[in-house]
Copies of this chain bind each other. A is one copy, B any other.
Amino acid sequence: MKRTVYLISGPAGAGKSTTSRKIAEILEKSAYIEGDFINHMVVGGHEKPWLSETHLNLIWLNMLSLTRNYLVNDYDVIIDYYVTYSDKTNYMLEALKDFNIDIKFIVLLVDKDELLRRDSQRPVEDQMGERCIIGLNEIIASNPPERHIMNTTQTDIEQVVDDILRNPKYLLNPLS
């Protein structure tokens, strides 16, 4: 059976982890890779990935190694991370081109007010405040094609997940 890698992107607060976990729970054989957790495996000498390209590259190398292992063992893979278009989408397309798989890329967006509302509902130590908006603006500025964007402000999670699973518009085209 043809396997799928789902790249679930979006700013903090857009619902990446809830959505990713739901997708993983629906699929028969699935692995859910949380980029934030991979990031925090580094303890001594940890650097913020948005300040260190070396560290960011190591996170992606690790996510790629895990993805390859899961694909070889016939799992679908859901990667929940701040996937930027088109550098990281191209990195994954290139690195996984030997596998006969589909790669879907989804950018979850929510309106600014909703993003700040969700952020304010987190435990205080996890609140990001204005940094949510910076993330939102950066993702919009990276200019992902419209068909990969899903605004979830008014949409419930079941609909979001169903659309990601069924809708072929999220497929990334192979690199030519």
A residues adjacent to B (C-beta < 8 A): 21, 24-33, 37, 41-45, 54, 58, 61-62, 65-66, 68-70, 73, 75-76
Contact = CB atoms under 8 A, between A and B. Distances in A.
Nearest to A20: B43
A152 B70 CA distance: 36
A33 B32 CA distance: 16
A39 B70 CA distance: 12
Given A25-B43, A30-B42, A76-B44, A62 B66 contact: yes
Most B CB within 10 A of own CB, among A25, A27, A73: A73
Contact of A24 (B29, B32, B37, B44): B44
A41 B66 contact: yes
Given A37-B37, A58-B73, A43 B31 contact: yes
A159 B70 CA distance: 39
B62 A69 contact: yes
Contacts of A58: 69-70, 73
Nearest to A29: B45
A126 B69 CA distance: 29
A87 to B, nearest CB: 19
Given A29-B45, A32-B41, A58-B69, 9 more contacts: A24-B43, A27-B43, A30-B43, A33-B41, A44-B75, A44-B76, A54-B73, A65-B68, A65-B69
Contacts of A70: 42, 58
A32 B75 CA distance: 25
